Amino acid sequence: MAFVSALISLIFNEFKNEFRSKATIFSTFLFLISSTYLSYMLFKGLINKPVWSAIYWLVFLFSALCCALMNANQQNRSRLLYVYQIVSSESFIVARIVFYALYFFTLGLLSLLLWTLLGIELYNPLLFIQMLFFQSIIFSGFLSLISFLSTKTTQGFALMSVLSFPILLPDLLIVQKLTHLLEDQIQWAILSKYYLALLILSLISVGLSVVLFPYIWSE
């Protein structure tokens, strides 16, 4: 029970911290909106569903990276030291993962809303949102670990993208393929395999970061 209450207060704290520094949160959302609009302008007339899905997931990837890095940079040493003394590493990383997952999910939904306004119509929004949900969990699992890892080094964003691109690629390929299948109105029997793959990947990503985080946390 203590674990759960610590978890809830940590998640609450993460949100409070994020909202306190308005520059970070606004710049993340603005980054998402402007890159979406930029690609809308640049790809005007060329956008069909496959192109759209590639753009959508790329923008999602970059805004997630941007968000995770800014958030990790903002955690200063003294606050981390304070948190280190009062909670266990597991509850800290789980809180971080939940926070990022909710954040990324919101970013993805906002981007989807924007694209809907710009004239993209999805065949099955509900299934798409379900996929986005899994995707947010997978991203948050890997990025919460890697962003923490890259704040410990001398380089920032460049290193983080170098480290996370190859790891996130298999999962990006799956969602890209799944987006195509959703738009081609493929039957559920085939789709379910991809959802299963996403579920397994999200378990792997969360599991890996919970298991491995204590080793870099103690530093």
Specify the stretch interacting with other proteins by CB under 8 A; choose among 5-13, 63-71, 98-106, 170-178.
Answer: 170-178
Dihedral (C-alpha) 178, 184, 186, 191: value to the nearest 10 degrees?
A: 10
How many C-beta neighbours within 10 Å does residue 82 have? 11
Which amino acid appears at position 168 of this protein? L
CA 66/CA 106 separation, integer angstroms: 14
Per CB under 8 A, the list member of 159, 191, 195, 210 interacting with other proteins is 159
Per CB under 8 A, the list member of 149, 191, 195, 210 interacting with other proteins is 149
Phi, psi torsion values for 129, nearest 5 degrees = -65, -35
Q: Could you tell me how many residues of this chain bind other proteins (CB under 8 A)?
A: 27
Which H, E and C letters describe 79-90, residue by residue? HHHHHHHHCCHH
Q: 4 is written with which tokens?
A: 């759960």
Nearest distance from C-beta of residue 135 to other proteins, angstroms: 15
Specify the stretch interacting with other proteins by CB under 8 A; choose among 34-42, 69-77, 85-93, 158-166.
Answer: 158-166
Number of H helices, E strands in the chain: 8, 0
165 part of the interface to other proteins, by CB under 8 A: yes
142 part of the interface to other proteins, by CB under 8 A: yes
182 part of the interface to other proteins, by CB under 8 A: no
Q: Which residues bind other proteins (CB under 8 A)?
A: 142, 145-146, 149, 152-155, 159, 162-163, 165-167, 169-170, 173-174, 177, 197, 201, 204, 208, 212, 215-216, 219
